[in-house]
């Protein structure tokens, strides 16, 4: 690793099975990317794997529902706090070291969770797990953009979609199956050997990509990012628990801290050492992709919260039956990802994103008609259409947005993407829970039965996220067919925007 980053990239591409010839480039995914996709899928799966375990945890650990919910909330909080730092971290260390640290921390947290004797230890273990998970997605995205040539990124990004989108969608289904076999500890015990094997294989096969660059870190920015994004996600997660004053104050404090963080980064950019380089937002294609992705994750998380509540509370299905009903949608999302990527390489983004965003709206509109007697096949079908539409949208959006950035901003772009994924997930959850609870309370006050009131609340929540999803159609028409070549913005002339056109 003696040469500069620019000449190192072609050598690394050849080493990982993506040589300069176009034929070989389009036939084989680099080994480094395959390993990172597999590892990222396993660690991100744990973000939602606890959803179905809440009743079991309440009994075994003698805790309240609110306390049990913290096992998922704390995971999101830790992710939101750590991800903004990963842009700096990934530029400073080698690929192998970043992978070893991330998977080592994740394995430590998983081991601790498996043997946790009390709730407090389990909560700490979930936070440790999240710290390792937070590094994996930015590491995967940055490495992919470095070693995969532009004409083949769509196909490879289809595999990435499986890791970052399908994993959280499959979490509740997989946990429902595992919980039928035994204790909640199996959720972690089952993951531990798989993650250990992946870590061992990764360290044996993984090679370094690019060159690390030594740089200083602004600890004030680290604290502001952790507190700001953490407070925002925590405040959003508190909505729907009764009373809006405290959550609103927490959200406002988080937003104010994020504003301070942004101002700090703009000042640091003049010296070239920001924790999160906000010049990524000077590229309109990336920014539009970021907004569309956020709305998509809000829709996905909103439906993931509402459908299990509907199926278990109003249709009396077990967690296993619920998991099996939503599993086809998650599987379809994963299986179609590579095909969507190949279509992107062939036809570009617009022919996928526009129909994909329309299908998202239509599927959500169908779910606004849920009733106590809606046939299960209709629910399964609408959920499957929603998941396939999200896959058809996410893969080209990720590829298009990251491709619009210059190479030296890949790590910062992937960090921003991961951070907003957590914020959007928390916002989608808070939105649907608040709308559902508020509408249900209003209908009960008017004399409606509890089941009827809750069903009405769920319909309202689906109506609102459907309306928000309509915005994705408008954004889809603003995105170009393919990313334009991006020039690295000069730090000294940051006020002179060099933006790629949006067509």
Q: How far apart are CA 488 and CA 502, in angstroms?
A: 18
Which helix (DSSP H) or strand (DSSP E) does residue 11 occupy? helix 5-15
Degrees, nearest 5: CA angle 419-422-426: 140
How many other CB atoms are found less than 10 A from the CB of residue 339?
14
Please tell me the predicted confidence (pLDDT) of residue 244.
72
Distance CA 131, CA 289 (A): 26
- The domain defined by 28-493 folds into Growth Hormone; Chain: A; (1.20.1250)
Candidates 85, 80, 98; CA nearest to 40 is 98
- Rounded Cα distance, 25 and 34, in Å: 14
Place of tokens 């003698």: 62
Both structure tokens of 187: 């959720």
3-state secondary structure of 470: helix
* Dihedral of alpha carbons 138, 139, 141, 145, sign: positive
Which structure tokens are listed for 416? 């921003």
CA dihedral 306, 307, 313, 315 (to 10 degrees): 150
pTM exceeds 0.75, yes or no: no
**Closest to 91 in 3D by CA, of 330, 280, 274:** 274
Alpha helices in 368-497 (DSSP H): 376-403, 410-445, 450-478
Which tokens sit at 97? 């070291």
82 Cβ contact list (under 8 Å, min separation 6)? 130, 131, 134, 135, 226
How do the pLDDT tens digits run along the chain, 503 residues long? 434 444 443 434 333 334 444 443 445 667 777 788 888 888 877 777 776 777 778 788 888 766 777 787 778 778 877 877 877 787 778 888 888 998 999 999 999 999 998 888 999 999 999 888 888 878 887 787 777 777 777 777 766 766 666 676 677 677 777 877 878 888 899 889 988 998 898 888 777 766 666 667 778 888 888 888 878 877 877 776 666 788 889 889 989 998 998 888 888 877 767 777 888 888 888 899 999 988 888 888 888 778 888 888 888 887 778 777 887 887 787 778 778 878 887 888 888 899 999 999 999 999 999 888 899 999 999 999 998 898 888 888 888 888 888 877 777 887 788 778 777 877 787 788 878 878 888 888 888 888 888 899 899 999 999 998 999 999 989 888 877 655 444 433 333 333 343 33
Q: What is the largest CA-CA distance in the chain?
A: 75
User: How far is the C-alpha of 190 from the C-alpha of 113, rounded, in Å?
Assistant: 12
The predicted pLDDT at position 29 comes to: 67
Instruction: Check residue 2 and give its pLDDT.
Output: 38
CA-to-CA distance for 412 and 422, rounded, in angstroms? 16
The answer for residues whose C-beta is within 8 angstroms of residue 450's C-beta and 6 or more apart is 440, 444
Least Cα distance to 169 among 369, 314, 328, 33 occurs for: 328
**Which own/partner contact pairs does 95-100 have at CB distance under 8 Å and 24+ positions apart?**
95/32, 95/139, 95/143, 95/206, 95/207, 95/208, 95/209, 95/210, 96/203, 96/206, 96/207, 96/208, 98/135, 98/139, 99/36, 99/39, 99/139, 99/202, 99/203, 99/206, 100/199, 100/203
pLDDT of residue 385: 93
Residues 465/432, Cβ–Cβ less than 8 Å:
yes
H helix intervals, 46-118: 54-60, 65-92, 95-115
pLDDT at 485: 58
Which residues fall within 8 angstroms of residue 10, CB to CB, at 6 or more apart?
20
Helix 31-45 with 153-161: angle, nearest 10 deg: 20
- The three-class DSSP label of residue 154 is helix
CB 103 within 8 A of CB 195: yes
Can you tell me the distance from the alpha carbon of 292 to that of 38, in angstroms, rounded to the nearest whole number? 25
At residue 494, the 3 state secondary structure works out as coil
């Amino acid at each position: 690793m003696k040469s500069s980053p620019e000449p190192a990239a072609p050598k690394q591409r050849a080493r990982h099975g993506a040589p300069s010839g176009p034929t070989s480039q389009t036939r084989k995914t680099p080994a480094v990317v395959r390993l990172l996709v597999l590892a990222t899928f396993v660690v991100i799966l744990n973000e939602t794997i606890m959803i179905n375990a809440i009743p079991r945890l309440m009994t075994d650990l003698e805790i309240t529902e609110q306390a049990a919910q913290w096992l998922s909330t704390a995971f999101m909080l830790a992710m939101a706090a750590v991800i903004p730092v990963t842009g700096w971290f990934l530029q400073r260390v080698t690929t192998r070291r970043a992978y070893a640290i991330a998977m080592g921390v994740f394995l430590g947290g998983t081991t601790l969770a498996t043997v946790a004797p009390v709730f407090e230890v389990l909560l700490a273990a979930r936070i440790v797990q999240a710290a390792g998970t937070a590094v994996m997605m930015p590491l995967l995205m940055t490495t992919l953009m470095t070693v995969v040539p532009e004409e083949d990124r769509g196909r490879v990004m289809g595999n990435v979609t499986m890791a970052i989108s399908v994993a959280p969608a499959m979490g509740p289904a997989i946990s429902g199956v595992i919980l039928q076999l035994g204790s909640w500890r199996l959720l972690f015990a089952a993951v531990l050997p798989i993650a250990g094997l992946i870590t061992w294989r990764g360290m044996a096969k993984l090679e370094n990509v690019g060159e690390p660059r030594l740089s200083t870190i602004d600890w004030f920015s680290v604290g502001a990012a952790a507190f700001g994004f953490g407070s925002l996600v925590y405040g959003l997660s508190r909505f729907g628990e009764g009373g809006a004053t405290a959550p609103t104050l927490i959200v406002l404090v988080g937003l104010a801290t994020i504003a301070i963080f942004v101002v700090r980064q703009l000042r640091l950019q003049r010296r070239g050492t920001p924790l999160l380089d906000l010049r990524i937002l000077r590229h309109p294609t990336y920014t539009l992709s970021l907004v569309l992705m956020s709305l998509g994750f809000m829709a996905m998380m909103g439906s993931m919260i509402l459908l299990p509540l509907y199926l278990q509370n109003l249709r009396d299905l077990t967690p296993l039956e619920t998991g099996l009903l939503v599993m086809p949608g998650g599987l379809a999302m994963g299986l179609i990802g590579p095909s969507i990527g190949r279509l992107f390489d062939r036809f570009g983004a617009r022919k996928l994103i526009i129909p994909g965003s329309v299908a998202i709206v239509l599927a959500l509109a169908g779910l606004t008609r849920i009733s106590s007697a809606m046939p299960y096949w209709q629910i399964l079908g609408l959920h499957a259409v929603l998941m396939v539409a999200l896959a058809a949208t996410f893969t080209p959006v990720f590829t298009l947005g990251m491709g619009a950035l210059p190479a030296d901003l890949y790590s910062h772009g992937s960090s921003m993407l991961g951070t907003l994924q957590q914020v959007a997930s928390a916002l989608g959850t808070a939105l649907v829970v608040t709308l559902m609870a508020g509408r249900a309370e209003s209908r009960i006050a008017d004399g409606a039965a509890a089941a009827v009131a809750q069903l009405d609340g769920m319909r309202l929540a689906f109506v609102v996220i459907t309306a928000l999803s309509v915005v994705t159609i408008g954004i889809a028409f603003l995105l170009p067919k393919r990313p334009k070549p991006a020039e690295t913005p000069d730090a000294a002339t940051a006020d002179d925007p060099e933006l790629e056109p949006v067509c």
